């Protein structure tokens, strides 16, 4: 049986890992890290929207920026994945923001 008390955090981490949720939770961290990863210039014209199964969706303010960011996609994914070996972002999709 159980050898003694276990911290709730350890139980929660084991549960999340077992259910396959842990990696997705780690990936969601990229939403708050986005400005630090891409810099002020890109952060000013984008908004990370969501992460799903390793794909990050980012809204872009204009079609000109959308085209430019698509050309920079590989470098951006590299920066996003620095230090994120256990839960990398596999794909980056830019969409035109409905808010302009």
36-56: pLDDT as tens digits:
999 999 999 999 999 988 899
Q: What is the pTM of this model?
A: 0.76
Torsion (CA) 65, 73, 93, 60 in degrees, nearest 10:
-20
Q: Which residues contact 55 (CB under 8 A, 6 or more apart)?
A: 89, 90, 91, 92, 93
List, for residues 65-84, the tens digit of each pLDDT value. Answer: 999 999 999 999 999 999 88
Are 80 and 93 spatial neighbours (Cβ–Cβ below 8 Å)? no
Are 30 and 56 spatial neighbours (Cβ–Cβ below 8 Å)? yes
Which one has a higher pLDDT value, 13 or 58?
58
Helix (H, G, I), strand (E, B) or coil at 62: coil
Q: What are the helix and strand counts (H, E) for the chain?
A: 6, 3
């Amino acid at each position: 049986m159980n050898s003694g008390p276990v911290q709730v955090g350890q139980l929660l981490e084991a549960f999340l890992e077992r259910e396959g949720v842990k990696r997705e939770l780690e990936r969601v961290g990229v939403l708050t890290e986005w400005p630090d990863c891409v810099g002020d210039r890109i952060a000013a014209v984008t908004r990370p929207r969501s992460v799903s199964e390793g794909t990050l969706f980012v809204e872009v303010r204009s079609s000109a920026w959308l085209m430019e960011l698509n050309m920079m996609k590989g470098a951006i994914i590299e920066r996003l994945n620095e230090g994120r070996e256990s839960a990398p972002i596999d794909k980056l999709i830019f969409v035109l923001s409905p808010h302009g």
